[in-house]
Amino acid sequence: MAKMNFGGVIEEVMTREEFPLEKAREILKDETIAVIGYGVQGPGQACNLRDNGFNVIVGQRQGKTFEKAINDGWVPGETLFSIEEAADKGTIIMCLLSDAAVMSVWPTLQKYLTPGKALYFSHGFAITWSDRTGCVPSKDIDVIMVAPKGSGTSLRTMFLEGRGLNSSYAVYNDATGKALDRTLALGIGIGSGYLFETTFQREATSDLTGERGSLMGAIQGLLSAQYEVLRENGHTPSEAFNETVEELTQSLMPLFAAKGMDWMYANCSTTAQRGALDWMGPFHDACKPVVEKLYQSVKSGNEAQISIDANSKPDYRAGLEKELAALRESEMWRTAETVRKLRPENN
């Protein structure tokens, strides 16, 4: 493990230097890795493991996703099977189904979790709120997690570019004495940049908070609020969008992603610097109570229950499409379509 200074706090992380791919291959040389589910995380993790030389099979129900797996090179009857057959063959069962699907498949999956196998997740949801999901694994299997900090698409794209997406990892149950080695080997195998330790509970609460907060929910709320105020005060759609979204995503985010917010401030105009420094406090003070409320809702299991209840409704997909359509058809995101077409790379 490498000791790293994160803002004055020393944490241990595992890098590819300390845990090379050759070591990962050696640890997992006798394992059959069964990737269950080929939706969001499945393709990236399965393909990266395959390309890195591990023994991987995929378990997926028949349908569009099954066909996608075939298009990605998985061969029915050889490396692509039903969920049941893959789970039976696998010594490490990577459960990469959606949270709702995990609940429905769990009674089936449980039959194949025989002593000594490893059950792998990329999200702590099912285990953290097991009283709500019903996912309670037996004590005679390893229960482990590697959670990439991004989408499966990003994991695959960065892998193909020779880069890595950072991941957290956790061991919930070590029945075999080799759970940690299995976990780290899988983390390196899927193409992680570096690995940092967490717990299932911490990963689940931070993940749900992030999704509802700065990563998705809060950012859309902030963008739409600013766009609406500009439009209500006479600014055109193009001007409102460029000052709210386009400059943020195309100009400023790459700057502070590369070198930090202070560096970005230092490389903006003095007018922008002063305004940003003066107004970050009021925005922080307005937002923090909302984030606190959000975190407590996540920690209590309320957000998990809302998700479970919503995903259990037979008309959930239809309702979801209506909500997404409302976003898609809003003036701000219809303006985005035109702005994207006008970017130099598209002309």
> Which residue blocks in the chain are alpha helix, DSSP H?
21-27, 42-51, 64-71, 83-89, 99-110, 125-128, 130-133, 152-160, 179-189, 200-212, 217-232, 237-241, 247, 253-259, 261-266, 270-299, 302-312, 316-328, 331-341
**Per the residue annotation, which of 123, 156, 212, 231 is the catalytic one?**
123
Q: Are 200 and 305 in contact (CB under 8 A)?
A: no
DSSP state for residue 62 in the 8-state scheme: S
Q: How far is residue 336's CA from residue 316's CA, in Å, rounded to a whole number?
A: 27
Q: Going by C-beta distance under 8 Å and a sequence separation of 6 or more, which residues neighbour residue 84?
A: 59, 108, 112
The helix/strand/coil state of 80 is strand
| Token pair recorded at residue 135 | 């996912």
Q: How far is residue 192's CA from residue 164's CA, in Å, rounded to a whole number?
A: 5
How many of the other CB atoms lie within 10 Å of CB of 48? 24
Catalytic status, residue 123: yes
Q: What is the dihedral of CA 253, 259, 263, 264, to 10 degrees?
A: -10
Known catalytic residues are 123
